Structure 1
Amino acid sequence: MFLKVFYNIINLTSRRTLAMEVSTNKTIKEGPAVISLVAEKVFYNPVQEFNRDLSILVLNVFSKDYKAEKNAQAQKKAQNKSIDSTIEFAEKNEVEFTLLEALSATGLRSIRYAKEVADITKIVANDISMQAVQTMKVNFEQNQVSHMVEVSHDDACMLMYKHKHPSERFSAIDLDPYGCPSIFLDAAVQSVQDGGLLLVTATDMAVLAGNSPETCYSKYGAISLKTKCCHEMALRILLQCIEKHANRYSRYIVPLLSISADFYIRIFVKIYTGAIHCKKTTSKLAMVYQCVGCDNMTLQPLGGFKSNPTEKNPNQMKGFLPTGPVVGEHCVNCNQKHHLGGPIWTAPIHEPVFVSRVLAELSSERHCLGTRDRIEGVLSMVREELHDVPLYYSMDRLVGRVHLETMPMLLMRSAILNAGYKVSYSHASKMSIKTTAPAQFIWDIVRTWERTHPVKPARLEADPVARHILSRAVASPVELSCRADANPESRRCGALRFQYNPAPHWGPGARAILNIGEEKMSKALRNQNKNLKKKSQKRQHSEGENEVRKKITLEQQLTNDNGCN
């Protein structure tokens, strides 16, 4: 009887909790879109509003370029036939811009694309979850975009494979999965039109940032390294992964914009077809030697191209294999050994002209974006980056490795500029130093700074690597005098370059759950003081058991009394 009463209490509590969860119905407003989360297990993450806002701007700029490019190609073909066909094409034909959101969840992104991207003709919103599909249908009707958005209930890869024929390909495909996107890339690179756009998000930053290099290799085909420039390396690992998938089908990528933000990376690349361009891929990839002592990064290209003129083609180029390795057994700076990572993408990860046009689109009055200031700050930094310099140094790592007092960033940048080298920040880190200066000169600056800010002898005695670095002579003259151009424009104008945590307990969220509101806490919040919670639950259970025992004892006493009477 005791167990029966106890289980009844537990089951009643569980049913009340379940009823409360099922009745949960959240309404969310983002930009001009208003959505309702009518299903229990549909994913939504408010922190990625920056991702969605940026994607809207990029698509507005890209769609104009795409239509202009397709019109130019069609008119050129028509001109080769006759002038009349050119006029007929201009009057009767219009280039369609179709977009696939392969993993739609609530449909919020598709709604915003339909309302805020001017040149979109049709959107296909797909999800494998029936709950998500039902939620999307309600939201599309509510936002009056059903005439533009087609709902699809299918596996994302299978849907893209069905559209790999050139006549059925999408103008743009948006992949925003939970975690790693690599399982969708093979289908995606085949399903994008020639000159189309592929938008890819990856949230498994622990894998890409070096915490699990063997997992990174199995997912992305590259070894990640644990280094201060891991966020840019994550971008370059994903780019090489997309290029690898594209090359299998005689296609190649042209990066337009690559962003590291919050807990994810976001990449925008154009896909083209051309077997001859695929041969140039090896010149865009490199292995990375990372010194285990000073963290210096040295690139070993997988291939290269050199001039090979002939009478018929004076501009002909010929591929070659570079010699290696580019480093010795020990690092020249600290006499330590190296780790080997990669391959990574070493060609530019942004197109400066395109970035400038996205910034111009941001100033348009028709866009009402919640993260406008942040987008302006990040894109301003991206435009200032040295686009032909892969990876970067980190100021805290440089001075911290030799136990020095922190050097002012503007002083370091001034010393590099005074020596005739280029320098910039990276949008991925506020302590970044992206420069054309060799590693030896960077350490010369650190050694020069140490002369006026000496390290405590006890620290050097306990650290042979720091002692070896600082004991070397300064090979190049270093001028530590500040200059005005060391302060970039984005910093002078006070742009929001680096965002603080956008929300408490923010992060990628849990897979396929409703991730808003206090009653739907994130994993980080749920795990806080979990041991104390367990103890409290045990205490409540024991108190509940005691109450049940008291009731049972009371009932038995009443029964005995009635029997006696």
Structure 2
Amino acid sequence: MDNRPGDLVKEGRTKLFVIKKKKSVKGPSSRDQMPFYNPSMELNRDVSVLVNQWFLDRSKHHVHLLDGLAASGIRGIRLANELTGDFDVTINDWNSESVTLILQNVQKNSLKNISVFQKDLNYLLSERRFHSIDIDPFGSPVYFFDVAVRSVYNHGILACTATDTAALCGVYPQVCYRRYGAWPLHSVSMHEIGLRILLGCLCREAAKYDRGIEPVLSYTTDHYIRLYIQIINGKNAANKSMEQYASIPAKDIPLVIDNTGQVGPLWLGKLQKKPVLQEIRTLLSTSEIHTKHQLWKLFYLLEDEADAPPFFYTTNDLSSLLKVTPPTMEFIFERLRNKGYIVTHTHYTPTGFKTNAPLDVITEVFK
């Protein structure tokens, strides 16, 4: 990269120089030697700012934050510039082009609470420990799980992004099995299954070292899976987590027919901490975040489905199966709630709903 600083952009309250691709990319970008800026991942980074601020607000000690695979460095620089509290940020990337750009932006923003490294992430995590670790790779984060679950402090945050959704969602089941030791299922619930496989893999890795996991916030989009977990020390925490880690018959997943196989092992526990979501929404209300409208909707849906059972139905697929015209969501919710069942929206799809009602009751509502 030459010495030109590139294009100036603003995310949140942070201005920084970036290298833009000539052609815009929807979702995570492809692997490249240059640390290109991907504006479509702004929401992902906005959530990082909010979750880490929530974490800092509850910390009683100095906090070490890590942006482990920084690329353009925008996530770590935003954390350093926008968070308040007693903390420092380590930004790391193996690419010298990335490090050059990151250092330019550290200087531009006059940031004193940042350390910048050019190291293999596994090596860095084996050298140091952190209270909050963010792993946002191109592809699968699984190659960093073993050392990451050991490097994070007790009750610390481990955040990761997985963009290998074709594997996790069952398009390439053998790839998923090789990477995560679990069988996916290409179905209506494939994104939730993929998210739960990712959590299950982390649960298993942490348990090897007598550590448990507690999902704080988890969500998916068409292009990636994103999760934040807390790591909890102790055999009891590990055992409690492993109770939520199991394989299930494919036929137990809504709208799966004539499949005698198994799915998983995967995480079957809760995906969110509802009180944390409520606190993060309070932070959002006073934030200077460009994706605020999208995040209000996302957090509302995550909070709504936080206590719902795993997996979901969609009105379109269920109506197609039953050969009926799909009723409105309002009608479905009213009828199921009047019968005493839980029913919620889900962030996975606008036509999806979660419920603890058995299929025969749902069928009756649809007909």
With the length of structure 2 as denominator, give the TM-score of the two structures. 0.91
Residue 7 of structure 2 corresponds to: 26
SS in structure 1 at match of 2:84: coil
Q: 2:114 aligns with which of 149, 154, 158?
A: 149
| Equivalent residue runs for 1:304-315 within 5 Å | none
2:69 paired with 1:103: yes
The answer to whether the 8 Å contact 1:194/1:272 transfers is: yes
Q: Distance in 2 between matches of 1:337 and 1:432?
A: 21
Give, in angstroms, the shift of residue 275 of structure 1: 1.0
Structure 2 counterparts to residues 191-210 of structure 1, below 5 A: 191-210=151-170
Three-state SS of the structure 2 residue aligned to 1:430 is: coil
Q: Which has the higher strand share?
A: 2
* 2:281 pairs with 1:359: yes
**Per-residue deviation, 1:187:** 1.1
Judged with a 3 Å threshold, the aligned counterparts in structure 2 of structure 1 residues 394 and 120 are, in CA distance, closer, same or farther, namely farther
- Residue 420 of structure 1 aligns to a residue whose secondary structure is coil
When the two structures are aligned, how many residues end up with a matched partner?
A: 355
Residue 189 of structure 2 is matched in structure 1 by 229
CA distance in 1, matches of 2:337, 2:365: 12
Paired residues of 2:212 and 2:240 also in contact (CA < 8 A): no
Task: Please say if residues 18 and 36 of structure 2, whose CA atoms lie closer than 8 Å, have aligned partners that are also in contact.
Answer: no
CA deviation map 1:283-324 (0-9, x unaligned): 2123232249x9546xxxxxxxxxxxxxxxxxxxxxxxxxxx
Deviation at 1:262, TM superposition (A): 4.2
Matched letter for residue 37 of structure 1: V
1:263: how far off?
Answer: 1.3
- Structure with greater helix percent: 1
**Counterpart of 2:132?**
172
Moved more, 216-225 or 397-406: 397-406
Say if 1:97 and 1:171, in contact at 8 Å, map to a contact too: yes
The one of 49, 61, 64 aligned to 1:56: 49
> Partners of 2:321 and 2:132 in 1: how far apart?
45
Q: Which amino acid aligns with 1:32?
A: R
- Contact 2:161/2:226 (CA < 8 Å) preserved in 1? yes
Q: In the alignment, what sits opposite 1:339?
A: 261
**TM-score, reference length from structure 1:** 0.60
The percent identity for this pair of structures is 30
Which residue of the other structure, out of 303, 327, 337, is the alignment partner of 1:407?
A: 327
Root-mean-square deviation (CA, aligned residues, Å) is 2.2
- The 3 A distance-change label for structure 1 pair 395 and 38 is closer
Tell me the residue number matched to 1:442. 362
Q: How does 1:418-497 map to 2 (within 5 A)?
A: 418-446=338-366, 449=367
The amino acid that maps onto 1:131 is E
Unaligned runs of 5+ in 1: 1-18, 68-94, 164-168, 298-333, 450-565
1:337 Cα deviation from its structure 2 partner: 4.3
2:148 to 170, 188, 195: 188
Contact 2:213 2:241 in 1 (8 A): no
Distance 2:232 2:146 in 1: 15
User: Does residue 254 of structure 2 align to residue 283 of structure 1?
Assistant: no
The whole-number CA distance in structure 2 between the counterparts of 1:55 and 1:289 is 35
For the Cα contact (< 8 Å) 2:81–2:109, is it kept in 1?
Answer: no
Q: Is 1:124 equivalent to 2:117 in the alignment? A: no
Q: Which amino acid aligns with 2:260?
A: H
Mapped to 2, the partners of 1:32 and 1:359 lie a distance apart of 18
Q: Distance in 2 between matches of 1:229 and 1:58?
A: 26
Stretches of structure 2 that go unaligned for 5 or more consecutive residues are 21-32
What is the letter of the counterpart of residue 121 of structure 1? F
Partner of residue 372, structure 1: 292
Describe the superposition over 1:503-548 as per-residue Cα deviations: whole angstroms up to 9, x where unpaired.
xxxxxxxxxxxxxxxxxxxxxxxxxxxxxxxxxxxxxxxxxxxxxx
CA radius of gyration, larger in: 1
Shift in alpha-carbon separation, 1:431–1:32, aligned structure 2, 3 A: same
* Cα distance in 2 between the residues matched to 1:38 and 1:48: 15
